[in-house]
Amino acid sequence: MIKKFISYYKPHWKLFWADMFFATLGGGIALVIPLMVRFITGDVINRPDALQWILIIAAAMVGLIVLEAYCTYFTANYGHVMGAKMEYTMRAELFDHYQKLSFSFYDNQKVGHLMSRIGNDLFDIAELAHHGPEDIFISLMKLVGSLIIMMSLNWKLGVAALLILPVMILFAAKCNKKMRAAFKRSREKISEFNAGMEDNLSGIRVVKSFANEGEEGKKFAVVNDGLLDAKKYAYKNMGIFHSGLGAFTTFITIAVLVVGAILITYKQLTATDLVTFVLYINNFTEPVRKLINFTEQFQNGATAFGRFREMMEVPIEIVDEKDAVLPPRFEGAVEFRDVSFHYPEHEKTVLSKVSLQVQPGEYIALVGESGAGKSTLCNLIPRFYEVSDGAILIDGEDIRRYTLKGLRDQIGMVQQDVYLFAGTVMENIRYGRPEATDEEIIEAAKKANAHEFIMALPNGYHTDIGQRGIKLSGGQKQRLSIARVFLKNPPILIFDEATSALDNESERVVQESLETLAKDRTTFVIAHRLSTIRNAKRILVLTEEGIAEQGSHAELLEKNGIYAELYNMQFN
């Protein structure tokens, strides 16, 4: 994992070494300035030309201070930029990985948790990437440098300072352990909070429709209280940590002053050396504080990087075969050959040894009880899930022979739960074919019976439709999704209960659009409303055992089997 982390520095090695150079230079200046003060107070003031020397040294100190300020600016600015660039690379990698993961992965994940991984976690990694090497190297340099100088000034004062240091380190390490646990708990509560907020805001209309604001308030109070308690505990430990370190720093200063005063009394130390020594105490204790703080930062960053790698190592279940090729334009013959399927986390088989042949341009309807596998069967065609056994062929070729993009480019889906992106009508239709012209988009909207209502919107095709198309009715959203598929122009269509959530008038208009879209295309229709599939050339009745019945509407009614029972249940 360390090797992998270091690999992210490689594209930015020039910036990394520049950052380390200026950090080292700034640390060196901090060690030099007290020695210049000692030179003025110990040597210069006794010289006849003292004023001239004082002005020269003062000018040199001002120059060093300006240089140190630039060093601090460079490390604070460009060092963070380097961390941000590494974060950018990791974020792009993680986003790309998210895009490649299958439906099976998302079936078991919360969006809030996934967002936390790509947001908070990567920020902690960036902070570690910037501050980690810099803090370790500069702190050790300052600590060793100041200790050598202090010992060379007076070893007895050095011992007085060092006697308290082990106790300080022991206290800090113990507090830091508690802080790490506290902040880890706080991070977990933030993740829970984000997941809860995402769930609430996504379902706000359901909340309001059931007038359950009070219940949501109670649920929110639980996660909010948990987050507050976690933060209070973390900040309590942080307060003990910082106040304790401040007290120990003061104790070291007092010990040095007391011992120094005694040594001056016995003529074993000059006041100049005592002043210089006191100036070095901060240079001595500040690196210790930084190194101890670094352990917390390292813990956060290492944990976050571990979570990042854990997510990056989630296997991509559905990938292109090594010799996968772009398919030609499909004619639309689809064959299921002994197809079986079960979800990875379940042993129960959803589809078992299903065999089915569909001719190009054929209109197939799938009906059956919930859980019979209708949607699953259709989701296997574009390889949203991978078959557990058997094969699916299009135009006689196994679909695994083709690239995923090439396969999915030729399959259009219209679902019950329409997802529209925040943006304009034009942008949402263009999603079907990003390179399409405005004229092609308008033509697709006309075919979907959407042009008329679009032109009635405040800004026509440039009207912003809000998050998930909230400003449109259900029928309008569905027609935009159909326009999107018209623009895509695929030879194979899947309608997954596309009209089941609409009122009668919207259903009639959308059904007309669907029938226009389905003309001369191989079409799979999943329907609960059996009235919408009476004209289907073939109706398949799925049960847990597989395809129980198939035939036209009239043939299945005549059989007086499962389909007839479902039909009579709806219309009687």
pLDDT digits (tens, 9 = 90+) for 286-321: 787 777 777 767 777 777 888 888 888 888 888 888
- Residues 460, 533: one domain? yes
Q: Can you tell me the mean pLDDT for 535-553?
A: 84
- Residues 25, 99: one domain? yes
Is pLDDT of 501 > 60?
A: no
How does pLDDT run across 514-524, given as a tens digit for each residue? 777 888 889 89
Query: How crowded is residue 391: how many other Cβ atoms within 10 Å of its Cβ?
Result: 14
Q: Can you tell me the mean pLDDT for 144-170?
A: 83
Percentage above 90 pLDDT, the chain = 10
- Residues 373, 469: one domain? yes
How does pLDDT run across 249-288, given as a tens digit for each residue? 788 888 888 888 888 888 888 888 888 888 778 777 778 7
Cα dihedral 58→63→64→68 (10° resolution): 140
The pLDDT value given to residue 205: 64
Percentage above 70 pLDDT, the chain = 96
- Residues 308, 350: one domain? no
- At residue 453, φ and ψ (nearest 5 deg) are -70, -30
Res. 394 pLDDT band, cuts 50 70 90? very high
**Domain final residue, candidates 312, 346, 364:** 312
If you average pLDDT over every residue of the chain, what do you get? Answer: 83
Is residue 322 a part of any domain in this protein?
Answer: no
279's tokens? 């100036």
- Residues 456, 532: one domain? yes
Helix ranges (DSSP H) in 313-396? 374-379
152 vs 150: CA distance, rounded Å:
5
**Which one-letter amino acid corresponds to residue 52?**
Q
- Residues 347, 460: one domain? yes
- Residues 306, 378: one domain? no
Coil/strand/helix, residue 174: helix
- Residue 354, classified by CB atoms within 10 Å of its CB into exposed (0-12), middle (13-18) or buried (19+), is buried
Is residue 5 a part of any domain in this protein?
Answer: no
Query: How crowded is residue 220: how many other Cβ atoms within 10 Å of its Cβ?
Result: 15
Query: Sheet harboring 538-543: ordered strands across?
Result: 411-415, 492-496, 522-526, 363-367, 538-543, 546-551
Is residue 328 a part of any domain in this protein?
Answer: no
Find the helix or strand (DSSP H, E) in which 23 lies. helix 13-42
Is residue 321 a part of any domain in this protein?
Answer: no
Is residue 319 a part of any domain in this protein?
Answer: no
- Residues 48, 178: one domain? yes
222: containing domain:
12-312
Could you tell me which of 380, 338, 428, 468 has the C-alpha nearest to residue 103? Answer: 380
The pLDDT value given to residue 150: 81
**Domain final residue, candidates 312, 345, 374:** 312
Is residue 476 a part of any domain in this protein?
Answer: yes
Which of 128-142, 370-384, 418-432 is least confident? 128-142
Is pLDDT of 572 > 70?
A: no
Is residue 59 a part of any domain in this protein?
Answer: yes
Q: Can you tell me the mean pLDDT for 377-392?
A: 90
Is pLDDT of 391 > 90?
A: yes
- The domain total for the chain is 2
Read off the CATH number of the domain in which 287 is found: 1.20.1560.10
- Residues 134, 218: one domain? yes
**Domain final residue, candidates 312, 347, 378:** 312
Higher pLDDT, 245 or 209: 245
Is pLDDT of 115 > 80?
A: no
Read off the CATH number of the domain in which 504 is found: 3.40.50.300
- Residues 416, 286: one domain? no
Distances (CA, A) of 296 to 158, 219, 263, 397, 428: 28, 32, 39, 56, 45
- Residues 504, 467: one domain? yes
How does pLDDT run across 436-448, given as a tens digit for each residue? 899 999 998 888 8
Res. 403 pLDDT band, cuts 50 70 90? very high
Question: Could you tell me if 112 and 196 are in contact, meaning their C-beta atoms sit under 8 angstroms apart?
Answer: yes
Is residue 125 a part of any domain in this protein?
Answer: yes
- Residues 32, 110: one domain? yes
The pLDDT value given to residue 1: 72
259 vs 267: CA distance, rounded Å:
12
Is pLDDT of 347 > 80?
A: no
